[in-house]
Homo-oligomer: A and B are copies of this chain.
Amino acid sequence: MNIDVIMRDGCRVAAVLLKWACILAGLSACVGSACAVFLWLLDQAAGTRLSHPWLLYGLPVAGVAVGLLYHWFGRTAEGGNNLIVDQIHEPGGGVPLRMAPLVLVGTVVSHLFGASVGREGTAVQMGGSIASAIGRLCRLRDPHEIRILLISGIAAGFAAVFGTPVAGAVFGMEVLRVGRIEYGALVPVILAATVADWVCHAWGIEHVPYTLGFHGYAGRDGRFFHADIILLAKVVVAGVAFGLASLLFAESVHRVAAVLRRTCPTPWLRPAIGGAVTIALVWVCGSRDYLGLGIVAPEDGGASILDFFGPAHYPLAWAWKLVFTVAVLAAGFKGGEVTPLFFIGAGLGNALSGVLHAPVDLLAAVGFVAVFAGAANTPLACTLMAVELFGAADIVYFATGCFVAYVCSGHSGIYLAQRIAVPKR
């Protein structure tokens, strides 16, 4: 090989690296900023809802309004997360840029009127649609490059909205197929996720910090060790329950959605049913704790993710949240499943801690990530998320809970476009 060839190859590699550095920087800046706007709007919406409780009665109408918005302007954007995953498996028409503003408005309206939805769907869809737009702008044609870019968009959105860059990166690679990780995207995803999270933070967005006091039992010598066999066995039992909760959630959403499709064939009218059911559920259970994200309770002593880490016991909060969330998601409200899954998992962990005589904050933290791991089929991303949110001391229990829940949750999952690479046995 002579000097000319080396120089030419070097220049070619440098050009590719420079192109990708620019693409990823632009992607992360846009997605991080979009997530910052989104999280700020969510905060405003939650505050407004709490100070104007009557807004709940507008939920059916608000849902129909968002339904009509999608009906008139949505086109393929209706596909949501599944469209993005499909476009990664078989790059085709791309993801429309209109998906980003539509899902942003749709989710903020859902939260303003009290629907029990999450935020990750919105972040992932903003990430995917911005990535697809950047791909068109840069005239990327290689399907492999488009795939990497879309995965990076998912990772960036997830990372910025939860403030967990490594979990976001691994989530983007792990969510596409059950039982497989897309190693080809390793470096782009970690860079996109970290920079998007940094951009979101630079806009002044702060994430709620969780405190996990349990750091293992002290041994006879007074020192802590990262694993206790009895507690590990309890976490395995809890992990089975978390996996079954994931299965129950995913199956409920799919089945109730199918029933609603048959009952009400007009898609934009269906949210009215979800809204009406939510209002009825608030009457029946006599609490507004299960509306919105549920990270902080509207009043002292209510059920919320943060409260599940404390000493009070909430035996049925997880089940109520499951019903509230299934009702609106199956009816077509926008937002996503993940924060409600955190609530269901942490609540179930809280409930189980009494039965299993295990530290309540530990089981709440394990449930927080494990139910999500089972429902999204992403055990490694969820283990890393637990480490990023709760620290490294309890990593053995996080991994055990997520791995067991993954195995026990069956194949349905919350993302219908997810392919099955390796069936669970």
Contact = CB atoms under 8 A, between A and B. Distances in A.
Contacts of A424: 183-184
A183 B187 contact: no
A227 interface: yes
Contacts of A316: none
A184 B180 CA distance: 10
Could you say how many copies of this chain the assembly holds?
2
B184 A198 contact: no
A208 to B, nearest CB: 15
Interface string A180-197: 110110110011001101
A387 B380 contact: no
A206 to B, nearest CB: 9
Given A183-B179, A186-B407, A425-B184, A380 B170 contact: yes
A242 to B, nearest CB: 13
A3 to B, nearest CB: 21
Contacts of A178: 183
A356 B384 CA distance: 28
Interface of A: 144, 165-166, 169-170, 178-181, 183-184, 186-187, 190-191, 194-195, 197-198, 201, 225-229, 232, 236, 379-380, 383-384, 387-388, 391-392, 395-396, 399-400, 403-404, 406-407, 422, 424-425
A190 B180 CA distance: 18
Nearest to A186: B403
Given A229-B195, A383-B166, A407-B187, A392 B396 contact: no
* Residue among A201, A225, A226, A228 with most chain B CB within 10 A: A226
Contacts of A400: 190-191, 194
A393 to B, nearest CB: 8
Contacts of A387: 387, 392, 395
A410 to B, nearest CB: 14
A387 B167 CA distance: 13
Given A186-B379, A379-B186, A380-B380, A165 B407 contact: no
17 contacts: A166-B383, A166-B395, A166-B399, A180-B180, A187-B407, A190-B399, A190-B400, A190-B403, A194-B227, A194-B232, A197-B227, A198-B225, A198-B228, A198-B229, A387-B387, A387-B395, A392-B392
A148 to B, nearest CB: 10
A187 B403 contact: yes
A165 B396 contact: yes
Contact of A201 (B166, B180, B225): B225
A396 B196 CA distance: 13
A183 B384 contact: no
Nearest to A163: B226
Contacts of A201: 225, 227
